[in-house]
Amino acid sequence: IQVAEWSGVPFSELKEVFLRGRPRVKAFEPQLLLPNLSFDLLATIEAHAMDWPELKVVVQPRRYYPQGGMLSHVLGYVAQANEEELNRDPSLALGDTVGKQGLEVILERTLRGVKGHLQVEVDVVGRNLNRTILAQPEPGNDIMLSIDLDLQALAARQMEDKTGSVIVLDPFSGKLRAFVSKPGYDNNKFVMGIRPDDWRDLVNDPGHPLQNRSIQSAYPPGSVFKLVVGGAALAKGDLDPKRRVFCPGQYRVGNRVFRCWKREGHGHMDFEQAMVQSCDVYFYQLAERVGAEEISAFAKASGFGERTGIELPHERAGLIPDRDWKRRRFGAPWTGGDTLNFAIGQGYTLTTPMQNARFIGALLNGGVLFKPTLLEDAVPLEQGRLRLNETQRKLLLRTMVETVEGARGTAQRLRTKDVVVGGKTGTAQVVKLTEEFEKKPLAEIPYRFRDHAWLASFAQQGERAYVIVAMVEHGGSGGATAGPMIKAILDYLFPQPPK
């Protein structure tokens, strides 16, 4: 009762903590009742130490995250072990902290050391007579992350007022140099038990800050997926890059009309022109020739529709649909319209930013799908290979470079002197806009109706190479929204000499 009065914590709550923990603590051992004491509460307890000799203040080490929200989705957090965790691991004691999210939970055994054992002899009144160390404590292992903190901070600033993800990846090792999901959260609040008000604020936040959007959110990839469709056509041998297709601005299948993003049409397009200008009609017809099953098989072999295996919990696999999936899910056959939506990264297709970064990395490094890793000393792990030969890969890379360097490319703002930069923009439709909003500026369209903005890119100068993928929820155009963000990252990675 006295502790409840001092602390302001309800007596019923303290009693519940005491009764729940009592069976786990020997009679002569202290039981943790109230963690994370304020200085004022500590002073009050110490001032009354003579009145309450059974009440002890125990000093425990406490995890502190100096970067806070900037690395919250990478590191995660620790918190007191719950009943299930205590039952599962006999080495844990009441009040111990364990990893709950991020690297903290995945590398829990690596980071946590081994407790020492101390034998204490006491007399009948509890005075210490002798102490013997039975086993020395062993510290946990240090972990070196692959993250560049300055780059991480820059990427986080670029996403400051946005919702989404930015990933910077070394394509030749799979090591992540920046891994940002916004909004983030302050992981320090969890260390000694998060306050109920803080927890309610987090779970009720419409931005869902606990969600790691780089791996836990799957989105329609939009036109970024045209690289996969083009790859499937090349792998099948059903693509003549010089063959021209006429785009009048729309394409009819049965009684439905599928439009190109450019209403007036692109005119005659070959493969490279269609990729650079992101012509939908060209890819509608290409997907019909290749077939949805072939595209689906190529996408899955390219790492989509499966988890990347990064050292973080709760990763989503995304979705690469096919005829069997639709029949199981909806009890309906695959249609021609499904194939056309598939061709431009819409419809049922869902991918994560991490999957797209791994795929672009494979295009750049010779075709190897490396496991993404946050650990600097991790040995590169090959997970698969693209079904493309060198000529086919280089063709796709050339279209990405032309998308940046070409006069009509959709990612021209990424141009960087003396650096080979390639990109593919994507605008993923969330809902079909009514005529009321269709021609309005982005700022006048309700937020929840705005398209997602994608930009997948790479940059290479000599032996240095990076993959940079940005996805902004409801950001509108990939080039306009994600482009300036990636350009700021390129300027950091490849600084230009002063004029």
Dump pLDDT digits (tens) for 53-105: 777 777 777 889 999 899 999 999 998 888 888 888 888 877 788 999 999 99
The rounded distance, in Å, linking the Cα atoms of 9 and 15 is 10
Helices in 255-348 by DSSP H: which ranges? 271-277, 280-290, 292-301, 323-330, 336-343
Q: For position 434, what pLDDT does the model report?
A: 47
Q: Is the dihedral of CA 348, 354, 357, 359 positive or negative?
A: negative
pTM reported for the whole predicted model: 0.89
pLDDT value at 445 more than 70? no
Q: Which of 55-64, 307-316, 347-356, 453-462 has the lowest mean pLDDT?
A: 55-64
pLDDT-derived band at 181 (thresholds 50, 70, 90) equals very high
Torsion of CA 146, 492, 416, 481, to 10 degrees: 90
Q: Which residues are known to be catalytic?
A: 223
Q: For position 131, what pLDDT does the model report?
A: 84
| Beta-strand pair 117-122/128-135 | antiparallel
What DSSP string describes 30-93?
------S--HHHHHHHHHTTTT-TT-----------TTGGGGHHHH-EEEE--HHHHHH-TT--
Residues 460-473: what's their mean pLDDT? Answer: 96
Query: What residues have CB less than 8 Å from 437, skipping those under 6 apart?
Result: 444, 445, 446, 449
Percent of the chain residues topping a pLDDT of 90: 66
- The SS3 call for residue 438 is helix
CA-wise closest residue to 100 among 217, 194, 201, 208? 194
Residues 109-133: what's their mean pLDDT? Answer: 81
- The SS3 call for residue 22 is helix
Structure tokens at 345: 């990264």
Residues 321-334: what's their mean pLDDT? Answer: 96
1-24 residue pLDDT tens: 777 778 877 888 777 777 766 676
pLDDT-derived band at 449 (thresholds 50, 70, 90) equals low
Torsion of CA 468, 472, 478, 482, to 10 degrees: -50
Q: Is the dihedral of CA 33, 35, 38, 39 positive or negative?
A: positive
For the chain, give the mean pLDDT: 89
